[in-house]
Amino acid sequence: MSHTTFEIPTQGQGLYEFTDTVARWVAGEGPMEAALTLIVQHTSASLLIQENADSEVRTDLKAYFSRLVPPSTDPSMGYLTHTYEGPDDMPAHIKAAMLPITLTIPVISGRMALGTWQGLYLFEHRDRPRLRRVMALLR
Amino acid sequence: MSHTTFEIPTQGQGLYEFTDTVARWVAGEGPMEAALTLIVQHTSASLLIQENADSEVRTDLKAYFSRLVPPSTDPSMGYLTHTYEGPDDMPAHIKAAMLPITLTIPVISGRMALGTWQGLYLFEHRDRPRLRRVMALLR
Amino acid sequence: MSHTTFEIPTQGQGLYEFTDTVARWVAGEGPMEAALTLIVQHTSASLLIQENADSEVRTDLKAYFSRLVPPSTDPSMGYLTHTYEGPDDMPAHIKAAMLPITLTIPVISGRMALGTWQGLYLFEHRDRPRLRRVMALLR
């Protein structure tokens, strides 16, 4: 059993892949069978397992969720009360409620049991650059 | 390894924090490194990790999801067929599909590895008072 | 500790129950206390814990998410760029981001700790028949 923390720098809204970073750490712990739990320690970012083949998928995911949860300055969001931390703040909390903050992934023989086209992403919901902490537990 | 069940009374739709209840139970099991799995044993409530600093965030989360999934009496929801358990019933199932029903949280030295602003909430989607069961497994 | 893979055939969009298949495998592993982790190894299908009593609930869930995320041929989705794998492809990725791809369920005395009305479903988001792989880890 072991744990670590990954720090992922972000440059505005979008999906940031960190599959290889996690895979290297998991492999370094030995060829075990285990459960890997990840948690993003923030309330305005998410963790996604998504297609890693075509970058258009990430572009479209970002576009879809930006429309489903527009900035608080959008007329359709006029009912929001938590607006003083910027127009991207409350929508970021909403997206962080709707999309996963924790993931658990089986590890078999020291490798994450992901499908062929699955990659691991941090989905940043804020506009400004951030350094995001993701804790990992392997046991 | 141990498990328990928390009972959380609710008074209509909204977010109910129970971070301290869980933290006390986890601490009482000893200073271990473990994975904590929570599951809400209902199909009309969710579990959220969300900001615990400003109650406006919870108000706005409730407001957003009430608009995204309006009552089945709303004209936009006229295609729904499962309506005889009340106008809040099928929307509650939809929200319970969209928002987490299970969470797994790393525990380090007997404490949940949550970020500074993260709290643990039961999100009630029904209108009438309920007693909600959340099972916890620590291992 | 053990693991297996379930193969679930699907015939277009909708919810496919596989509670009994998983329950039988878990029971066969002995009367243990454990955490069961499931992961669907695809980026266009999801795993749901949902009501197993009334099939109208599944009909309505499918209808709701089909409207929330319409086919890419729908005028409201004209901004999508990843459209050449069919009108159901990018909406499938969006639904697979929004709805769970992994679930962890406590197992007590060899039985999944689900509520009375909770069943386990694969939610298929593509139109054509598929064979979906769900890996399970018990530990």
- B-chain CB neighbours of A99 within 8 Å are none
User: Nearest CA to C16 among C132, C114, C94?
Assistant: C132
What pLDDT, on a 0 to 100 scale, did the predictor assign at position B136? Answer: 98
Give yes or no for a contact between A45 and A103, defined as CB atoms under 8 angstroms apart. Answer: no
| pLDDT at residue C104 tops 90 | yes
- Tens-digit pLDDT profile for residues B31-81: 889 999 999 999 999 999 999 998 999 999 999 999 999 999 999 999 999
Residue A131: pLDDT band by 50, 70, 90 thresholds? very high
Nearest CB to B102; choose among C51, C57, C103: C103
Nearest to B94 among C61, C100, C116 (CB): C61
Segment (H or E) for B97: helix B89-98
* Residues B104, C104: C-beta atoms closer than 8 Å: yes
The type of residue at A118 is Q
> Can you give the length of chain C in residues?
139
Q: Are A42 and B115 in contact (CB under 8 A)?
A: yes
Distance between CA B137 and CA B131 in Å, rounded? 20
In the prediction, which pLDDT does A62 show?
A: 98
**Contact residues of C toward B, CB < 8 A:** 33-35, 48-51, 54, 56-57, 59-61, 63-65, 67-68, 98-100, 103-106, 108, 113-118
Q: Mean pLDDT across the stretch B103-113?
A: 97
Of B60, B61, B104, the CB nearest to A102: B104
Q: How far is B57 from chain A (nearest CA, A)?
A: 6
- The chain A residues in contact with chain C (CB within 8 A) are 33-35, 48-51, 54, 56-57, 59-61, 63-65, 67-68, 98-100, 103-106, 108, 113-118
Alpha helices in chain C (DSSP H): 19-28, 55-68, 89-98
Neighbours of B122 (CB within 10 A): 23
Task: Give dist(CA C3, CA A18) in Å, integer.
Answer: 25
> Rounded to a whole number, what is the distance in Å from the CA of A131 to chain C's nearest CA?
23
What is the mean predicted confidence (pLDDT) over B128-134? 98
Enter the DSSP assignment of B85.
Answer: T
Residue with tokens 């297996």: C4
Whose tokens are 């969009």? That residue is C13
**Closest to C109 (Cα-Cα) out of C2, C27, C20:** C27
Best mutation target, C5, C101, C138, C139, to test chain A (most A CBs within 10 A): C101
Per-residue pLDDT tens for C11-68?
999 999 999 999 999 999 988 899 999 999 999 999 999 999 989 999 999 999 999 9
Q: E-assigned strands of chain A?
A: 2-11, 14-17, 34-40, 45-51, 102-108, 111-112, 118-124, 129-138
- To which residue do tokens 């979906």 refer? C132
Question: Could you tell me the two tokens for B49?
Answer: 């990790």
Residue in C18, C138, C45 with CA at minimum distance from that of residue B137: C138
What's the order of all strands across the beta sheet hosting B45-51?
B14-17, B118-124, B45-51
Q: Which residues of chain B neighbour A82 with C-beta distances below 8 Å?
A: 54, 56-57, 59-60
Q: What is the mean pLDDT of residues C81-104?
A: 97
Determine how many CB atoms are found less than 10 A away from the CB of residue A65.
22
Q: Does the pLDDT at position C115 exceed 90?
A: yes
Report the gap between the CA of B59 and the closest CA in chain A (Å). 8
**pTM of the predicted model over 0.80:** yes
Q: How confident is the model at residue A30 (pLDDT cuts 50, 70, 90)?
A: confident
Lookup: tokens for C103: 């679930």
Confidence at B30, pLDDT banded by 50, 70, 90: confident
Task: Give the neighbor-by-neighbor strand order of the sheet with A111-112.
Answer: A2-11, A129-138, A34-40, A102-108, A111-112
Q: Three-state SS for C57? A: helix
What chains are in contact with B, requiring at least 3 Cβ pairs below 8 Å?
A, C
Contact A50 C93 (CB under 8 A): yes
ipTM confidence score: 0.97
User: What is d(CA C59, CA A131) in angstroms, rounded to the nearest whole number?
Assistant: 42
pLDDT at B1: 85
Question: Residue B51's pLDDT is what?
Answer: 93
Contact B57 A90 (CB under 8 A): yes
Average pLDDT of every residue of chain C:
97
Do B22 and B112 touch, CB atoms closer than 8 A? yes
Determine the distance in angstroms separating the CA of C123 from the nearest CA of chain B, rounded to an integer. Answer: 10
Report the pLDDT averaged over residues A100-114: 97
Q: Which two tokens stand for residue A25?
A: 């750490």
Contact B66, B95 (CB under 8 A): no
Distance, in Å, from the CA atom of C11 to the CA atom of B82, rounded to the nearest integer, reads 23
**Of C122, C114, C109, C106, nearest in space to C12 by CA:** C122
Tokens of A24: 């290297």
Burial grade of C47 (CB within 10 A; 0-12, 13-18, 19 or more): buried
pLDDT at C79: 98
**CA-CA distance, B51 to C95, in Å (whole number)?**
25
H or E element, residue C138: strand C129-138
Q: Would you call C35 and B81 a contact, using CB atoms and an 8 Å cutoff?
A: no
The token pair that represents C24 in the structure block: 């039988």
Average pLDDT, chain B: 97
Nearest Cα of chain B lies from the Cα of A81 at a distance, in angstroms, of 6
